[in-house]
């Protein structure tokens, strides 16, 4: 790693990236320095300048790359430099094109380390080397997740809290989003809902364990939705789900009991058997794609909530933080999770959410590159 | 005087005269001899904690009390679930000539109809291989039959009850399962029958403990799998459930209930999941166009779920993700219905396994018994569960299965008829 010494600080060479290559999405964070001196600018090599311009003057890249401008962290100080932190994502399927671009822009000549986490850091390691002559520094995704999360919470979201919860989650009328910070964050149960789900019990920044996981995550939701409704993207699937009624698809307690199952406190409106009505031909013929999308969303979400709750009880942790891109623009799920945690625990558990949802792994990877704590 | 559908209280019958086989005392329903003539009719609510102590009464006293409390035939136990109705029927084989003469016509006809057929209407089935022969219940000897039909066809069943004038037999119909509540008024209006409603989990536990204690000879009621993932070496081995407590009981029907059982009358419902047998069948019907459980399983046995699921290989490590490959259009077009059925089965089963494992850990219980009709003719799921329990717990947890799978609720209901708690 080439080091440039300015004053008494040492920091790695630009550009500064952190990458999280997941099963479905690649998350990229890019630090754009805004304190470049005239001298520095003159010295700057052409391709570095071009990378900076390309990334910061566009909000879309190719057909599927997106920069989440609303998530940009402005005037951040990292490693003695001041700049903006940008949040970019694109489907993992488009990785070959990304690597090709790295090759075309001669990224390897910049001799920077590319810190990458997520499973794809292993899967694509070879491709980076052969197609773009780039060496990845592979990092553990859970280490990066926790590090990134704690960092963003500390520096806050442009002066606002990074975290939030729902007040009155059971009341659709008065359910309201309330900001909060993670002060005294430990212990916390961290539920990372990406393609799959990982559940971690976090006792301190460096002391955590992976409690369990489930294979029924965001990937299942999208995959099943595509199969059942013919939709093609996450956004389409959510759009359909927002219009559907899952009770036409799911068998509820009242469909079996005719009412509540009082003995064990199961309300008639609780789902007894997800997709349970679908064994009946008449029911299959009477439901819509939107109903199916909704039922898929509700089933996956409730299953995650149920498992999270069991872990929280098992680990004796009251705060459950949900992250991951399954929750991106997915208020149906966030509210369901908030409700489930609150209802089934009789108010003992609280569900928390973070604005930067699925980007913490990439932030953590960037921090590993800088190997420094942020300036206060 | 005879057991022909009238109210009991027929002390004139001398037990010794009936040409019954010698009761196998170790197989008799233990509760039969525990009843006091004046039973307490304590309603079970919340956690059942009533004690059932064995009686010290002499044989003569016991027989008297049995006669006093023995209900009239026919003896049924019914479990009306979300998808299937499970019915157990006790066919007496020790009917004396006298009794037979006195027997009312419709009772005889019911007995003949049930025992001389193995299929009823279009969808009713008697699981002959599960029949328990020469059972002694409440001083009578006979065979216990296991019958099932879709809950969807309950109206037809009620109609039959009406046609056969079942209500004139004045028997109590003990029923459990959600349907006992949901269809209570239908029973009354369509067939003039009053249901005695029972809690499904009480009945489940009671039924499990009873069946395991009476099955002898032939395959053991309880079994497990050795080497579940090795198709060449995987075998079923018998297991004795004596000293069964504590036990984690996982009931996989339309939905799933998980119970921690500490003693016969002390248990709690730990949790449940709505992703159960109903989900498997519903999703399969949607994804493959199949219409029955048997079809769905058939397809699943031929499919390959790895084309559908993103494997460890595809990402890099940790849990694989179900249906993850289906986001890609080309992949969607390359999988078969069989693959989809398989993936659905594997997903649902592994999810249940995962949740069960967490409960076992939470409750500190090492023995897990899986029951419910999701496992009927479903060795694939049983082996998956066996493997999951063993592998993820590094051998600490053992997955156990029972031959009578989904019938325990109905058995428990029958027991309640004969020995009200």
Give the residue numbers of B marked as catalytic.
Answer: 200
- Provide the pLDDT confidence category of residue B52 given band limits of 50, 70 and 90: very low
Task: Say whether pLDDT at B33 is over 80.
Answer: no
User: Which pLDDT score is estimated for B240?
Assistant: 85
Integer CA distances (angstroms), A153 to A73, A352, B75, B137, in order: 12, 12, 66, 67
CB-nearest to A216 from B179, B285, B347 is B347
Cβ <8 Å between A219 and B327 = yes
Give the residue from B85, B248, B323, B350 with the most A CB atoms within 10 Å of its CB, the best one to mutate.
B323
Tokens standing for residue A331: 């208020």
Selected residues 119-148 of chain B with any CB under 8 Å from a CB in chain A: none
User: Which pLDDT score is estimated for A298?
Assistant: 96
pLDDT digits (tens, 9 = 90+) for A103-148: 988 888 887 779 999 999 999 999 999 998 888 999 999 999 999 9
Q: For residue B134, how many other CB atoms are within 10 A of its CB?
A: 15
Give the residue from B44, B151, B274 with the most A CB atoms within 10 Å of its CB, the best one to mutate.
B274
CA B152 to chain A, closest CA, distance in angstroms equals 9
Cβ <8 Å between A220 and B179 = no
Non-local (6+) Cβ contacts of A214 within 8 A are A196, A197, A199, A303, A304, A307, B319, B351, B354
CB-nearest to B354 from A121, A198, A214 is A214
pLDDT digits (tens, 9 = 90+) for A74-101: 999 999 999 999 999 999 989 999 999 8
User: Which pLDDT score is estimated for B91?
Assistant: 96
Task: Say whether pLDDT at A44 is over 60.
Answer: yes
Q: Which residues of A touch B181 (CB under 8 A)?
A: 257-259
Q: For chain B, what is the mean pLDDT?
A: 80
| C-alpha span between A68 and A87 (Å, rounded) | 6
ipTM here: 0.89
Cβ <8 Å between A217 and B321 = yes
pLDDT digits (tens, 9 = 90+) for B78-90: 999 999 999 999 9
| C-alpha span between B95 and A268 (Å, rounded) | 45
User: Which pLDDT score is estimated for B59?
Assistant: 53
Task: Say whether pLDDT at B16 is over 80.
Answer: no
Please indicate whether residue B319 or residue A362 has the higher confidence score (pLDDT).
A362
DSSP state of B151: G
| C-alpha span between B89 and B144 (Å, rounded) | 6
Average pLDDT over residues A218-229: 93
User: Which pLDDT score is estimated for B275?
Assistant: 96
Cβ <8 Å between A279 and B281 = yes
pLDDT digits (tens, 9 = 90+) for A319-345: 999 999 999 999 999 999 999 999 889
Q: Which helix (H) or strand (E) is A252 found in, with range?
A: strand A251-252
Tally of CA atoms within 13 A in the half-sphere of B361 that contains its CB: 20
Please indicate whether residue B283 or residue B46 has the higher confidence score (pLDDT).
B283
- Provide the pLDDT confidence category of residue B267 given band limits of 50, 70 and 90: very high
Q: Which residue of A has its CA nearest to B340?
A: A227
Helix, coil or strand: residue B356: helix
Non-local (6+) Cβ contacts of B29 within 8 A are B136, B137, B138, B210, B214, B415, B418, B419
Tokens standing for residue B127: 């699981």
Q: Which residues of A touch B329 (CB under 8 A)?
A: 226, 232
Cβ <8 Å between A313 and B362 = yes
Predicted TM-score (pTM) above 0.90: no
Q: Is A161 on the interface with B (CB under 8 A)?
A: no
CB-nearest to A272 from B82, B347, B354 is B82
Catalytic residue check, A72 = no
Cβ <8 Å between A123 and B316 = yes
| C-alpha span between B33 and B11 (Å, rounded) | 16
- Provide the pLDDT confidence category of residue A362 given band limits of 50, 70 and 90: very high
| C-alpha span between A209 and A317 (Å, rounded) | 13
Please indicate whether residue B26 or residue B271 has the higher confidence score (pLDDT).
B271
Give the residue from A197, A276, A289 with the most B CB atoms within 10 Å of its CB, the best one to mutate.
A276
Average pLDDT over residues B18-29: 32
Phi, psi angles (nearest 5°) of residue B248: -105, 120
Strand partners, A367: none
Q: For residue A110, how many other CB atoms are within 10 A of its CB?
A: 18
CA A140 to chain B, closest CA, distance in angstroms equals 11
Q: Is A232 on the interface with B (CB under 8 A)?
A: yes
Query: Which residue, among B302, B301, B339, has the nearest Cα to B323 in the 3D structure?
Result: B339
User: Which pLDDT score is estimated for A10?
Assistant: 67
Average pLDDT over residues A208-220: 91
Cβ <8 Å between B277 and A302 = no
pLDDT digits (tens, 9 = 90+) for A144-201: 999 999 999 999 999 999 999 999 887 777 889 999 998 889 999 999 999 989 999 9
Q: Which residue of A has its CA nearest to B281?
A: A279
CB A23 within 8 A of CB B324: yes
Selected residues 91-110 of chain A with any CB under 8 Å from a CB in chain B: 93
> Tokens 């991951």 identify what position?
A324
Please indicate whether residue A24 or residue B309 has the higher confidence score (pLDDT).
A24
Give the residue from B279, B303, B312, B372 with the most A CB atoms within 10 Å of its CB, the best one to mutate.
B279
Q: Is B359 on the interface with A (CB under 8 A)?
A: yes
pLDDT digits (tens, 9 = 90+) for B104-139: 888 899 999 999 999 999 999 999 999 999 999 999
User: Which pLDDT score is estimated for B4?
Assistant: 30
Minimum mean pLDDT range among A67-81, B36-50, B61-75, B222-236: B36-50
Q: Which of A141, A162, A290, A368 is catalytic?
A: A141
DSSP state of A195: S
CB-nearest to B326 from A224, A261, A302 is A224
pLDDT digits (tens, 9 = 90+) for B212-239: 888 866 678 999 998 887 777 889 999 9
| Geometric angle at alpha carbon B11, from B10 and B13, rounded to 5° | 85
Q: For residue A35, how many other CB atoms are within 10 A of its CB?
A: 11
Q: Is A268 on the interface with B (CB under 8 A)?
A: no
User: Which pLDDT score is estimated for A3?
Assistant: 56
Average pLDDT over residues B176-198: 93
> H helices of B199-325, where?
200-214, 277-288, 293-302
């Amino acid at each position: 790693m080439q080091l440039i010494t300015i004053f008494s600080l040492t920091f790695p060479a630009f550009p500064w990236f952190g990458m999280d290559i997941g099963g479905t999405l690649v998350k990229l964070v890019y630090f754009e320095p805004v304190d470049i001196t005239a001298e520095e600018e003159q010295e700057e090599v052409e391709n570095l300048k071009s990378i900076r311009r390309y990334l910061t003057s566009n909000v879309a890249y190719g057909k599927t790359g997106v920069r989440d401008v609303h998530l940009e962290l402005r005037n951040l100080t990292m490693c003695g430099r001041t700049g903006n932190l940008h949040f970019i994502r694109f489907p993992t399927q488009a990785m070959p094109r990304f690597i090709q671009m790295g090759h075309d822009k001669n990224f390897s000549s910049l001799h920077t380390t590319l810190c990458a986490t997520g499973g794809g850091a292993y899967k694509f390691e070879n491709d980076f080397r052969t197609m773009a002559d780039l060496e990845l520094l592979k990092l553990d995704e859970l280490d990066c997740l926790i590090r990134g999360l704690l960092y963003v919470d500390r520096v806050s979201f442009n002066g606002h809290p990074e975290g939030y919860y729902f007040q009155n989650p059971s009341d659709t009328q008065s359910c309201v989003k309330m900001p909060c910070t993670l002060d005294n964050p430990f212990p916390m149960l961290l539920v990372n809902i990406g393609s799959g789900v990982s559940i971690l019990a976090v006792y301190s920044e460096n002391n955590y364990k992976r409690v369990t996981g489930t294979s029924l995550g965001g990937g299942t939701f999208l995959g099943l939705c595509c199969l059942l409704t013919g939709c093609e993207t996450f956004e389409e699937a959510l759009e359909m789900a927002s219009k559907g009624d899952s009770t036409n698809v799911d068998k509820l307690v009242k469909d079996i009991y005719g009412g509540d199952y009082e003995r064990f406190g199961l309300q008639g409106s609780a789902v007894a058997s997800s997709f349970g009505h679908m064994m009946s031909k008449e029911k299959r013929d009477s439901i819509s794609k939107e109903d199916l999308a909704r039922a898929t969303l509700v089933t996956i979400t409730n299953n995650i909530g149920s498992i999270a709750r069991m872990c929280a009880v098992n680990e004796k942790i009251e705060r459950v933080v949900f992250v991951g891109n399954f929750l991106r623009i997915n208020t149906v799920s966030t509210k369901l999770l908030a409700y489930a945690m609150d209802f089934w625990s009789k108010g003992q558990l609280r569900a928390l959410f973070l604005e930067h949802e699925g980007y913490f792994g990439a932030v953590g990877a960037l921090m590993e590159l800088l190997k420094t704590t942020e300036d206060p | 005087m005879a057991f022909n559908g009238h109210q009991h209280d027929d002390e004139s019958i001398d037990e010794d005269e009936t040409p019954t086989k010698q009761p196998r005392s170790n197989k008799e329903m233990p509760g039969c001899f525990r009843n006091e003539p004046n039973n307490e009719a304590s309603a079970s609510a919340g956690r059942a904690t009533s004690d059932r102590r064995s009686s010290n009464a002499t044989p003569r006293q016991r027989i008297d009390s049995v006669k006093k409390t023995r209900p009239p035939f026919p003896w049924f136990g019914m479990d009306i679930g979300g998808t299937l109705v499970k019915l157990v029927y006790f066919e007496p084989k020790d009917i004396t000539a006298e009794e037979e003469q006195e027997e009312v016509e419709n009772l005889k006809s019911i007995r003949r109809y049930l025992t001389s057929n193995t299929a009823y209407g279009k969808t009713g089935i008697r699981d002959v291989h599960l029949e328990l022969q020469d059972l002694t219940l409440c001083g009578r000897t006979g065979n216990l039959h296991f019958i099932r039909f879709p809950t969807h066809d309950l109206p037809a069943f009620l109609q039959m009850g009406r046609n056969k004038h079942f209500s004139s037999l004045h028997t109590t119909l003990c029923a459990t399962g959600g349907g006992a509540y949901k269809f209570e008024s239908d029973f009354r209006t369509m067939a003039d029958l009053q249901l005695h409603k029972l809690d499904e989990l009480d009945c489940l536990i009671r039924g499990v403990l009873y069946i395991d204690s009476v099955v002898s000879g032939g395959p053991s009621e309880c079994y497990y799998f050795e080497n579940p993932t090795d198709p060449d070496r995987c075998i079923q081995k018998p297991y004795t459930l004596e000293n069964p407590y504590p036990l984690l009981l996982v009931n996989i029907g339309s939905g799933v209930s998980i119970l921690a059982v500490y003693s016969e009358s002390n248990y709690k419902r730990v949790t449940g999941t709505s992703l159960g047998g109903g989900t498997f069948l519903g999703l399969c019907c949607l994804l493959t166009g199949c219409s029955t459980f048997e079809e769905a399983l058939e397809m699943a046995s031929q499919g390959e779920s790895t084309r559908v699921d993103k494997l460890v290989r595809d990402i890099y490590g940790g849990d694989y993700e179900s249906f993850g490959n289906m986001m890609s259009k080309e992949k969607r077009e390359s999988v078969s219905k069989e693959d989809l059925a398989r993936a659905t089965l594997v997903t649902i089963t592994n999810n249940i396994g995962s949740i069960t494992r967490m409960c076992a850990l939470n409750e500190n219980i090492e023995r897990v018994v899986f029951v419910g009709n999701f496992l009927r003719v479903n060795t694939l799921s049983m082996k998956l569960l066996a493997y999951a329990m063993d592998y993820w717990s590094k051998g600490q947890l053992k997955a156990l299965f029972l031959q009578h799978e989904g019938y325990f609720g109905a058995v428990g209901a029958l027991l309640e008829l004969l020995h009200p708690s």
